Amino acid sequence: MRRLDPGDFRAEIGTENLRFPVWGAGVTPLVFGAVWVLAATAVAFLPMRRQFAPGLVLLVAAPLLLIWIGLVHGWLWVAFGLFAFLSMFRRPLLYFARRALGQLPEVPPEMRE
Type and span of the H or E element at 101? none
22 Cβ neighbours under 8 A, 6+ residues apart: none
Query: Could you tell me the pTM of the whole model?
Result: 0.68
Cα distances from 63 to residues 3, 56, 74, in angstroms, run 29, 12, 15
How far is residue 81's CA from residue 63's CA, in Å, rounded to a whole number? 10
Region 13-35: mean pLDDT is 67
Higher-confidence residue: 68 or 110?
Answer: 68
The pLDDT score that the predictor gives to residue 96 is: 86
pLDDT tens figures, 1-12: 555 555 555 555
Q: Are 37 and 77 in contact, with CB atoms under 8 Å apart?
A: no
pLDDT tens figures, 34-91: 999 999 999 999 998 898 899 999 999 999 999 998 988 888 999 998 998 898 888 8
